[in-house]
Amino acid sequence: MMNAVQEMMQEMMKGFVGEGAVGVAEQIYSKLEDQNISSKYEEVFDRQEELGIIEPVKNRAADQVFIPHRPVIRNDENATTKIRPVFNCSLKVGKAPSLNEAAFPGIDLMNNLLSLVLYFRNNDYVVVADIVKAFLQVSYRGNEVASLIKDKFYMDNLVLSSNQGAQAPFIINSIKEIMNSGGLPLREWGSNCPGLLSTLDEDEKVASSEMKILGYIYDSNQDTLQLKVKQLNNDASSKRQILSALSSVFDPIGIFAPIMLQGKLIIHASKEADGCAMYAVQGGHSSLIFAKTKCNSINIS
């Protein structure tokens, strides 16, 4: 008897034409079985159906598109969602365009990430939170609190910053009320001043002083932003592998670009280079971050 994931994969295969799409579906399910996570993956969709995020297709139309997806697994302790689906709207079958190519993208509704980071670091008090589940579109009432909701979100991250901490509990409760009324409760509230969260229950607060915010790791005890700790590949034996290691460092607005650029420039400096090194320089002092010898000579365009 097939489970829900198998049925889902079969329906997805019916929705595409061509051996390539069928192969993608078979490969996805094979990996789910090999990793023994098919039931966990199925639970994610069951939960989304319970919450009304997705619904079964009862009468399939000829022009419906089934989007392939794959599981992304997070093993870090602070991850609240250990496994989640990521949809591939860029899949192309034959000469037909992908869904991304065929769909009108519309205007960019995202808040500017750099502006939010600067706002986040510009005042004495900060409060952050995450939306429990993903959302597609939200309407809001035109008042001051609703304006904060509109302007201070990036994806599912809420970022509040102010020099007047006394107003924080009222603002937090108002935002909670509006978000709850829309079926979008907030979780993992954190602040560099724990007293600002006095009106929240303990299970609403983030468990650790370190939390992911705006693509970086925020330490509420130290009130600092830092990159997620990344272990570079010390076994890299080619310039391509070294460049891949450098590119794996996630720095969305390029705060550390001056440091990372040095390693990339050394790699590009010579096609015949035997090695490369990357240093962090600050205040007249330098620290070795990464070094590799005996790099294979390859052409990087």
In this predicted model, what pLDDT tens digit does every residue of 253-269 receive, in sequence order? Answer: 888 777 777 666 666 55
pLDDT tens-place string over residues 140-174: 566 667 777 778 888 889 999 888 888 888 889 88
- Predicted TM-score (pTM) of the model is 0.62
**Could you give the residue ranges of the DSSP H alpha helices within the chain?**
4-14, 19-34, 38-50, 99-102, 113-120, 144-151, 168-181, 239-247, 257-269
User: What's the rounded Cα separation, in Å, for the pair 278 and 96?
Assistant: 44
The one-character DSSP state at 205 is B
208-232 burial: b if 16+ Cβ within 10 Å, else e: eebbbbbbbebebeeeebeeeeeeb
Q: Which amino acid is at 139?
A: S
Q: What is the fold of 113-226?
A: Alpha-Beta Plaits (3.30.70)
| Domain residue extents for the chain | 4-102, 113-226, 239-293
